[in-house]
């Protein structure tokens, strides 16, 4: 796994794990299912980041989870969700879904449309406490209205304003933004001991001095300076930025 500096871990798009099941095409940033790389188990408490394409009408049948915070971000199309807590609905591009599996939950996910693909990120984060009551929430975001800023998607439960936001049982922050070419912004970590994980959804960025293309990612370990610089290097460049604890507190 390339180390471009003592603080940086580079994850090039083409080095991710890959699986093609026909109806499901998946790329794994970290070890998952049939893909195992001992150097890519997790980044801090960020355990899974799967970049999935699901064919029309297909999906994941009912299956269990426990003691994991699950964040789903549709990139194209629509995903139909059903779970053992009684939640049923559809999430689309612009939506974000969070689920705390806690003591145990079962759910299914299917492509809502029979004739088009759905593409999504599915992200798993180790929680900071085990055996919580399972919970579910989702919200919609307009990234075009908030261009050239990082819009906050998910916050820690302990955050003062969490009641009106999507939150998880972890000191983690999820951000996403669409940027015009040449736009530069700083990002200041909320917690000094946290790391940062940046993935380019579309376009090109320079993040803390590293040049990243579409679906490249950069892990930034905790460091003395709390601020990094982010610069879009192509039109309509889109970034996912996750601030994440490097060690599970549980």
Residue 119: the pLDDT is 98
Cβ within 8 Å of residue 235, ≥6 positions away:
180, 181, 203
How much helix, strand and coil, in percent to the nearest 5, is found in the chain?
A: 0, 55, 45
Residue 224: the pLDDT is 78
Which residue ranges form the domains of the chain, and what is each CATH number? Answer: 8-245 (2.60.120.10)
Annotate 161-181 with three-state secondary structure.
CHHHCEEECCCCEEEEEEECC
- Locus of tokens 């320079």: 206
- Which pLDDT tens digits describe the chain residue by residue (250 residues)? 565 678 899 999 999 999 999 999 999 999 999 999 999 999 999 999 999 999 999 999 999 999 999 999 999 999 999 999 999 999 999 999 999 999 999 999 999 999 999 999 999 999 999 999 999 999 999 988 899 999 999 999 988 776 778 999 999 999 999 999 999 999 999 999 999 999 999 999 999 999 999 999 999 999 878 899 999 999 999 999 999 999 865 4
Residue 1: the pLDDT is 53
Residue 250: the pLDDT is 47
CB-based burial label for 52 (10 Å; 0-12, 13-18, 19+) = buried
- The 10s digit of each residue's pLDDT in 62-89 is 999 999 999 999 999 999 999 999 999 9
Residue 223: the pLDDT is 82
Strand residue runs (E) in 34-183? 46-54, 59-65, 69-76, 78-83, 88-92, 95-100, 105-111, 118-125, 135-140, 151-156, 166-168, 173-179
Helix (H, G, I), strand (E, B) or coil at 64: strand
- The 10s digit of each residue's pLDDT in 194-218 is 999 999 999 999 999 999 999 999 9
């Amino acid at each position: 796994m390339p180390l471009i500096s003592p603080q940086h871990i580079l994850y090039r798009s083409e080095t991710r794990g890959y699986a093609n099941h026909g109806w499901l095409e998946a790329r794994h940033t970290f070890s998952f299912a049939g893909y195992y790389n001992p150097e890519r188990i997790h980044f801090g408490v960020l355990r899974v980041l799967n970049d999935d394409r699901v064919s029309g009408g297909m999906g994941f049948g009912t299956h269990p989870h426990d003691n994991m915070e699950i964040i789903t971000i549709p990139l194209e199309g629509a995903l139909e969700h059903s779970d053992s807590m009684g939640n049923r609905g559809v999430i689309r591009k612009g939506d974000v879904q969070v689920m705390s599996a806690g003591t145990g939950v079962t759910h299914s996910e299917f492509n809502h449309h029979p004739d088009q693909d759905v593409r999504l990120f599915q992200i798993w984060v180790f929680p900071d406490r085990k055996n919580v009551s399972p919970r579910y929430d989702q919200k919609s975001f307009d990234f075009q209205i908030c261009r050239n800023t990082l819009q906050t998607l998910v916050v820690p439960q302990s955050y003062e304003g969490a009641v009106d936001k999507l939150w998880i049982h972890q000191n983690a922050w999820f951000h996403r933004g669409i940027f015009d070419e040449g736009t530069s912004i700083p990002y200041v970590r909320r917690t000094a001991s946290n790391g940062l994980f940046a993935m380019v959804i579309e376009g090109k960025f320079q993040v803390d001095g590293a040049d990243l293309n579409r679906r490249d990612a950069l892990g930034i370990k905790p460091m003395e300076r709390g601020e990094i610089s982010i610069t879009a290097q192509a039109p309509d460049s889109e970034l996912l930025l996750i601030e994440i604890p490097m060690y599970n507190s549980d």
